[in-house]
């Protein structure tokens, strides 16, 4: 076999600067569409993306040569520049400095896709902070 086989799935989560609730439905739809279109022709494979008013979730397939930090920083930087360049909001848009990233087993991809696609439903019952606490506990982090 001359090719390297890989299945590296990562679930990224990051919020807007100061967790501002500015990803209203129209902007969120534009952002999701932008991610799908822009990254379809990129080295970064975004499988699923959705979020709520102050954060975004992405299921990303990484190549062995890519690192989670470089991919997160590239997506965050490119998308904040795109939002600002198009004047979708008043003032300057920015993501928070950090992010969360979780590895995902191939056997759980379907559940993670479903979880990401149902963000609006989750946030009728649970805040972003509560959601992040649950994710951190599931991945055994403090």
Banded model confidence at residue 107, pLDDT cuts 50, 70, 90: very high
Banded model confidence at residue 4, pLDDT cuts 50, 70, 90: confident
Q: What is the pLDDT of residues 65-78, one digit of tens each?
A: 999 999 999 999 99
**For 8-138, CATH number?**
3.30.70.1290
Evaluated on CA atoms 83, 85, 90, 94, the torsion sign reads positive
Q: What is the pLDDT of residue 13?
A: 95
Higher pLDDT residue, 99 or 142? 99
pTM across the whole model: 0.86
Q: What is the pLDDT of residue 5?
A: 81
Domain boundaries, the chain: 8-138
Residue 124 parent element (H or E) = helix 119-125
Task: Say how far apart CA 90 and CA 141 lie, in whole Å.
Answer: 36
Q: Three-class SS of residue 102?
A: strand
Asked if 86 contacts 31 with a C-beta cutoff of 8 angstroms, the reply is: no
């Amino acid at each position: 076999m001359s090719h390297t086989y890989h299945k590296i799935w990562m679930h990224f989560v990051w919020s807007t600067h100061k967790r501002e609730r500015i990803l209203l439905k129209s902007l969120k739809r534009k952002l999701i569409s932008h991610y799908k279109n822009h990254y379809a022709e990129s080295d970064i494979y975004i499988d699923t993306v959705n979020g709520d008013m102050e954060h975004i979730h992405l299921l990303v397939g990484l190549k062995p040569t890519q690192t989670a930090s470089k991919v997160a920083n590239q997506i965050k930087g490119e998308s904040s520049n795109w939002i600002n360049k198009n004047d979708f909001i008043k003032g300057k848009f920015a993501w928070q400095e950090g992010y969360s990233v979780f590895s995902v087993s191939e056997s759980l991809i379907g559940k993670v896709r479903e979880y990401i696609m149902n963000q609006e439903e989750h946030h009728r019952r649970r805040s972003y902070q509560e959601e992040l606490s649950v994710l951190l506990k599931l991945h055994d982090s403090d």
